[in-house]
Amino acid sequence: MKHLILIMVIFSIAYSCGVNKQLTSNTKTSAQIGDTITINSNDSDYEIQIIEPGFNSWLRSRAKPKGFYSQQYLETKNVFYVSTWNSRVLQPQRFNPNLYEMQIDYKANIDYGYDVNYQLYNYFVYFQNRYKQNLLGGRIPPN
């Protein structure tokens, strides 16, 4: 029997508009529904769910198309991005806790499949550009 593991990246809208919103499993506004992306990879048992205003439209309009990057490239980048991300979650006095709310459970030795890696990688590119963050050092990656 297949098991589903959920990787969640959740950001409150509080950072961008100063309003604290509660997300519950029973109540979702139309903005939350429209800005929630869930990817179930056909080639693995994993899922990624991203709730972030504006990410869905950015992904459709500005991200490189699927197949542009190899899965190995995406996995390598994601390992570094997740490591930096999780480090920042643990340093709320140094990094904005409204941006880095929770750790991401991503392990380099697990094959999450292309779709999950593509989605996660593009979220990191979007996040860095939108919030002017730099997760790898050097310059912020282009859109």
Give pLDDT tens digits for 17-50: 333 333 333 333 333 444 544 555 555 567 777 7
140 lies in a domain?
no
- Name every residue whose Cβ is closer than 8 Å to that of residue 66 and which is 6 or more positions away in sequence: 114, 115, 118
56 is a domain residue = yes
Give how many domains the chain has, as a whole number: 1
Q: Is residue 29 part of a domain?
A: yes
Out of 32-41, 46-55, 65-74, 97-106, least confident range:
32-41
Residue 96 gets which letter from DSSP?
A: -
Structural domain span for residue 27: 5-131
Question: Is the distance from CB of 115 to CB of 39 less than 8 angstroms?
Answer: yes
User: What's the mean pLDDT when you consider all of the chain?
Assistant: 74
Q: Is residue 89 part of a domain?
A: yes
